[in-house]
Amino acid sequence: MASRLGLASLFSRSASISASSSVRSLRGGGVAAVASGIQRFGTAAEVEVAPITPPVHVNYTKLLINGQFVDAATGKTFPTLDPRTGEVIAHVAEGDVEDVNRAVSAARKAFDEGPWPKMTGYNGEFSLIVLFRKDPAFLIAFADLIEKHNDEIAALETWDNGKPYEQSAQVEIPMLARLIRYYAGWADKIHGLIVPADGPHHVQVLHEPIGVAAEQTPLSALFVAKLLHEAGVPDGVLNVISGFGPTAGAALARHMDVDKLAFTGSTDTGKIVLELAAKSNLKSVTLELGGKSPMIILDDADIDQAVELAHFALFFNQIDEEQFNKILRYIQAGKDSGATLVSGGDRVGSKGYYIQPTIFSDVKDGMLIAKEEIFGPVQSILKFNDLDEVIRRANATRYGLAAGVFTSSLDNANTLTRALRVGTVWINCFDVFDAAIPFGGYKMSGQGREKGIDSLKNYLQIKAVVTSLKNPAWLASTAAAAGGLTAEISHVRGSYLVSLSIGTPPITFSASPSTVSDLIWTQCQPCTRCFTQSTPIYDPSKSSSFSKLPCSDNLCKASQKSNCTPDCEYNQTYAGGFSHGVMGIETFTSGEDSVPGIAFGCGNSNTFTVASGSGLVGLGRGPLSLISQLGVTKFSYCLPPLGQAKGKLLLGSQAVLKTKAAILSTPLVQNPSIKSSFYYLSLQGITVGTTRLSIPDGALQVKKDGTGGMIISSGTLFPRLEKTIFGLLKEEFRSQLKLPVADQSSLGFDACFSLPSKANVEAPKLIYHFDGGDMELPEDNYLFIDSTKGFMCLQILESEFDLSVFAGIHHQNMQTLYDLEKEMISFVPAQCDEL
């Protein structure tokens, strides 16, 4: 089994020794049972004597396709060599494109049509290499067989790979069995989620097998494949193709019926695999690639332990002839670049592919042996002065597989653990692996993880299933919303107020209904900073239905500048002040309709004053608004003029147009850049009298950056126009009225005119041109006339922002209907008290 680690270790200059390593790991093995030093893994003497004949026969050298061991379609084979001698162990079938096609076809049929995908997590459905599903009983039987044949598999692995038999038999093969048992435990625990969603919907999130998957495997995979079938895997579920990367490997990578690839090897080859996968069907790819992993030894470390583990991490595993020659070239490069060869540097014996354990000192960061993955027993020693330096140098590599840190300081260990950009950090240990520990790299050391639950995620894909529901019982507010909800609106001292009740027993809650806000809030006891209100301040301690909104609730996260200390706090800011307090859940009542479970702000520090009211009811698009929490798609209101009868707020099924007068309907516009709570109107022009204002192109529309446009606001009294548009409007009124300008800024108006004492003045009409029709505003909806004091003012102000506001005065005595399903808004003249 190939290993996947390597970089020069870094030692503090004040350490008692300086020894570092280009580190490689056991691929799936632990360290507890292996020998503790280089001598125990030594093989020099064994190479010089006659090699021991392994007590195992190579019986499986053919391809495994659709449950049968078969020859390659071309009849070709390739030799697998004994790394001790370079002699041929066996000739293995050399798979090519046609063999890959046959194997993938078998796997696809097993996945799409066979019994495998129909099995449950208790009696079927798992494959290690080609098809991922799940089955504890089958996997446990497979693990039992691996343990039964432990010595045979270990002998094959050692014979083919050249690693010590003790390592294979006592570490790697037992770890394989442990890994299988670990995933047997997961087989019946892979499940989806039921997630909450806005509105009446049932939402499932399913985790489903990704499909046909492929991996590279060593020679011993053929023997293990035989055990897999002995354990009962159906034909076609597992297929093993032995071959070479440019042929069989490339065919798998580009195959249109392969849904998932897992590759272990060099970074350069990983790039090719990724490119072929992208150019074919964008199949998912997991890569475990090269490494150059630092072993950082600080001056307070146990040096003897660090050196021992540095040797252990590096000086094992033999190689083939190609890698043998490559390592020797790296050793020569180290000599040529000026590094000091401390030990080794040559082959061992006259046969096979063994290289002496090699140590270089005086290594510099820019040297080839310090930068590139050698994948052999070549150790490089580098020194450093402090933590900042070692972090910078350790991270200055294209790799990020793993790192080791040796120190007696917990603070230093924590600093390095967080700072190193690698997938695994070992503290005062090295090469510790377990079935439950995810393994994989950052940067160019790969993508995805092996082992643990994270490995399962590589072979699953996510599906969301959304089902529409009618009147779901668990949506507490739906009962009221289905039948509709009605509340009175009054006009008091320049503010519109909606009358509700809050809590149990209910107390009056009079608040401004605002379509430009989401949050519902009221002043609460104990009040540290509150304004005067006409009704008693709500006290949550006296309500049996009050509870605090949990910090984990999505509505807490949606509140403006929320934080948990430890309660879910909110801090809502406005142009004229703020409201601060704790988010709660309460019952709201209107008439005979009660709506429990509404999230709201319980404000105990408030500087934003609502005239005669106690708070605000948000009617915006956001999740905290009353509209969103009720789950209704329609609402309407009628705003009464000052001093006149009350209007209405109608929610849900009650929100229908209740007059036969001419209806103007216009689309609501979405902000193209930001997710906004506002309702934008599609205003296209303005006419004063008979003159259409020459408004610059685009001045009325929402810009690409999210600024500008016109919003509608039910809680704001006076409309506002963007500065340029307001200037044009004011000048046109002045021009048509031909009256002297009057200063009534004390009343808050921006455009006023003096009236003659005797003559009657006919005011110009004001027409708004919307997408869908024209709205000729009643005179009271844009003019304020005080004939006794002799002035007339536009009830329209200049906006302080690059935003126009179609506010309350403009649509008083109109029923305004919002249809959020159709994204339309309608206006119709109405007597508010008659709705």
The catalytic site residues sit at: 288
In angstroms, rounded to a whole number, what is the distance separating the alpha carbons of residues 767 and 422? 66
8 Å CB contact between 783 and 809:
no
> 3-state secondary structure string, 500-512?
EEECCCCEEEEEE
Buried b (16+ CB within 10 A) or exposed e, 241-255: bbbebebbbbbbbbb
Helices (H) and strands (E) counted in the chain, each on its own, are 19, 48
What's the full length of the chain, in residues? 835
Q: Is residue 758 within 8 Å of residue 790, measured between CB atoms?
A: no
Neighbouring-strand partners of residue 206 = 463
Confirm if 277 and 283 have CB atoms less than 8 A apart: yes
Asked if 539 contacts 525 with a C-beta cutoff of 8 angstroms, the reply is: yes
Cα 191 to Cα 137, 183, 329, 655, distances in angstroms:
18, 14, 51, 42
- Tokens in use for 283? 């199949």
Quote the CA–CA distance of 8 and 294 in Å, as a whole number.
Answer: 5
**Three-state DSSP state, 779:** helix
Instruction: Tell me the torsion sign for CA atoms 406, 412, 414, 415.
Output: negative
* Residue 694: closest CA among 735, 722, 728: 728
Collect all residues with Cβ–Cβ distance below 8 Å to 95 and sequence separation of at least 6: 63, 72, 103, 241, 242, 243, 247, 248
| Pair type for strands 424-427 and 402-406 | parallel
Long-range CB pairs of 360-365 (<8 Å, 24+ gap) are 360/334, 361/18, 362/338, 363/8, 363/20, 363/334, 363/339, 364/337, 364/338, 364/339, 365/393, 365/396
Q: Measuring CA to CA, how many Å separate 294 from each of 310, 393, 405, 541?
A: 10, 9, 8, 59
d(CA 168, CA 156): 9
What is the rounded distance in angstroms from the CA atom of residue 298 to the CA atom of residue 784? Answer: 81
Alpha helices by DSSP H, listed for 706-751, are: 723-737
Please name the amino acid found at residue 32. Answer: A
How many other CB atoms are found less than 10 A from the CB of residue 804?
Answer: 25
Distance CA 362, CA 339 (A): 5
Strand partners for 131: 212
Which residues sit opposite 63 in a β-bridge?
70
Q: How far from the centroid of its chain's Cα atoms is residue 705's Cα?
A: 25
Secondary-structure breakdown of the chain: helix, strand, coil percentages, each rounded to the nearest 5: 25, 30, 45
Using the structure block, give the residue that is written with the tokens 């919002």.
818
Contacts for 727 with CB less than 8 Å, ≥ 6 apart: 798
